[in-house]
Amino acid sequence: MEKCIKRYFPVFLGPTFLAFLIGFIAPFLMGIYLSFCDFRTVTDAKFNGVQNYVRAFQDGDFAHAFWFTALFTVTTLILINVIAFAVALVLTREIRGTNLFRTVFFMPNLIGGIVLGYVWQLIFNGILSRYDLALKISAKYGFWGLVILICWQQIGYMMIIYIAGLQSIPGDLSEAAEIDGANGWQRLWNVTIPNMMPSITICTFLTLTNGFKLFDQNLSLTAGEPMKQTEMLALNIFNTFYGRVGYQGVGQAKAVVFFILVVALGLVQLNMTRSKEVQQ
């Protein structure tokens, strides 16, 4: 049997690897090359050195988008994880209808980002219009609108991961602590959370990268209005690439910078939370 797998592994892995090569590696390398080119369509590109990167860093909107995205990511990272963890704690107690609640909380995650954006735009505008206000007239509304939307969408997903983590903690640990006289908070801080570190690593990684990569919801909820003040990095790159004549190369350069940024942040975060994980 093992021999068989060894002999035929190219048959099994080949197609997937090929698809990965064509669908990911090739466009990725092409994208890096294009970021050093002046081009209109991807098939005819002229090399122009680092000029695209220079123009990308000179763009004030790009810098604004970075800070806006960073602020947004930090806010949602904290809110989503704290609330998802709390919900997971509640829903691992023996309460009636836990399964129903879990399903309901998870459901927003099944709706596409564009649809969510439009639905929430209607909700927010519906409420704000009572006060003769609208979502797009202030960056503050746009920011909190996005935060609410993303929390609503992602809390359920993170909750599922936390529930799985909570269920894998052996009950005797907590019981032993209780017998030793630890109160609820102490048990949470010193027993549950250290044992939950693998889940926390995953969830913070997901919320961090999701926050940085957010695009659909941003596009359909605020589209960057007012005056590009709620434009996040991904949307800024999209608008640079598609919205401006002759800026395709700059958009591509921004995309490469964006990639490096997300990877770097992701790695730093993984290292930070991993080091806190304990062996059971």
Partner 1 sequence: MKKRLLTLALALVMALSLAACGGGSGDTQPSGDSQPAGDSQPAGDSGSSDASGAVYYLNFKPEQDGAWQALAEAYTQETGVEVKVQTAASGQYETTLMSEIAKTDAPTLFQVNGPVGLANWKDYCYDLSGSQIAGELSSDDFALMDGSSMPGIAYVIETYGLIYNKALLEQAGYTADDIKSFADLKKVAEDITARKDELGFSAFTSAGMDGSSDWRFKTHLANLPIYFEYEADGIGDTEAIKGTYLDNYRAMWDLYINNCTCAPTLLSAKTGDDSVAEFVTEQAVFYQNGTWAFGDVADLGEENLGMLPIYIGVGDEANQGLCTGTENYWCVNKNAKPEDIQATLDFMYWCVTSDTGLDYMCSGDEGKMGFVIPFKGNLESTNALVNIANDYVAQGTTSIKWCFPTMPSEEWKNVLGSALTAYAADQTDANWETVRAAFVDNWAAEKSK
Give me the residue label for tokens 């903690």: 169
CB of 57 to partner 1, least distance (A): 16
Phi-psi region of 96 (alpha: psi -120 to 50; beta: other; left: phi over 0): beta
Does 136 sit near partner 1 (CB under 8 A)? yes
Query: What is the separation, in whole angstroms, between the first and last Cα of the chain?
Result: 34
Long-range interactions of 212-215: CB distance < 8 A, separation 24+ = 212/69, 212/73, 212/258, 212/261, 212/262, 212/265, 213/262, 214/69, 214/72, 214/146, 214/150, 215/113
Among 4-12, 27-35, 208-216, 267-275, which window interacts with partner 1 (CB under 8 A)? 4-12
CB of 279 to partner 1, least distance (A): 24
The residues in 37-66 that bind partner 1, with binding defined as CB under 8 A, are 40-43
Among 98, 109, 125, 273, binds partner 1 (CB under 8 A): 125
CB of 213 to partner 1, least distance (A): 20
CB of 142 to partner 1, least distance (A): 10
Q: How many residues of this chain bind partner 1 (CB under 8 A)? A: 36
CB of 64 to partner 1, least distance (A): 13
CB of 58 to partner 1, least distance (A): 12
Among 188-196, 207-215, 221-229, 257-265, which window interacts with partner 1 (CB under 8 A)? 221-229
CB of 275 to partner 1, least distance (A): 32
Comparison of 121 and 195: residue with beta carbon closer to partner 1: 121
CB 238 within 8 A of CB 247: no
> Binding string, 105-124, against partner 1, x = CB under 8 A?
----------------x---
The amino acid occupying position 100 is L
Of 86, 81, 112, the closest CA to residue 211 belongs to 81
61 vs 58: CA distance, rounded Å: 9
> Binding string, 226-245, against partner 1, x = CB under 8 A?
xxx-------------xxxx
Does 11 sit near partner 1 (CB under 8 A)? yes
Among 89, 134, 147, 177, binds partner 1 (CB under 8 A): 134
DSSP states of 203-236 as a string?
HHHHHHHHHHH--HHHHHHTTT-STTTT--HHHH
Among 65, 91, 135, 221, binds partner 1 (CB under 8 A): 135
The amino acid occupying position 78 is I
Does 30 sit near partner 1 (CB under 8 A)? no
Of 122, 29, 247, the closest CA to residue 236 belongs to 247
Q: Which residues contact 101 (CB under 8 A, 6 or more apart)?
A: 91, 95
Give me the residue label for tokens 């439009």: 118
Among 48, 58, 129, 190, binds partner 1 (CB under 8 A): 129
**Interface contacts to partner 1, rule CB under 8 A:** 1-2, 4-5, 11-13, 15-16, 19, 40-43, 121, 125, 128-129, 132-138, 223, 225-228, 242-246, 248
